[in-house]
Amino acid sequence: MSVPLIWCQQWEESERGWGTRPDGYTLHMTKQDAKDFAQRFMDSQRQSFEDRGIDGVPDEYTRPCGEPYEILPTHEQYRKLQSKTGKENQGLWFQERAPDGGGPGTWRREEHTYRLPRPAKR
Q: With respect to residue 35, please indicate whether it lies within any of the assigned structural domains.
A: yes
Strand pairing partners for 14? 20, 61
Q: Tell me what pLDDT residue 122 has.
A: 52
Q: Is residue 76 part of a domain?
A: yes
Q: How far apart are CA 116 and CA 16, in angstroms?
A: 25
Residue 119 is predicted with a pLDDT of: 54
In a domain, 39, yes or no: yes
Per-residue pLDDT of the chain (122 residues; tens, 9 = 90+): 688 899 999 999 988 888 888 889 999 999 999 999 999 999 988 888 888 887 777 778 899 999 999 998 888 889 888 888 777 878 888 887 777 654 433 333 344 444 445 555 55
Answer whether residue 62 is part of any domain.
Answer: yes
Question: Looking at the 3D structure of the chain, how many domains does it have?
Answer: 1
Per the domain annotation, does 50 fall within a domain? yes
- Is 118 inside a domain boundary? no
Q: Which domain holds residue 14?
A: 6-112
121 located within any domain = no
Residue 118, pLDDT score: 53
Which residue, among 23, 46, 39, has the nearest Cα to 91 in the 3D structure? 39
Q: What is the pTM of this model?
A: 0.76
Sheet holding 111-112, edge to edge: 60-71, 6-15, 19-28, 92-94, 111-112
Which has the closest alpha carbon to 88: 56, 59, 114?
A: 114
CB 114 within 8 A of CB 89: yes
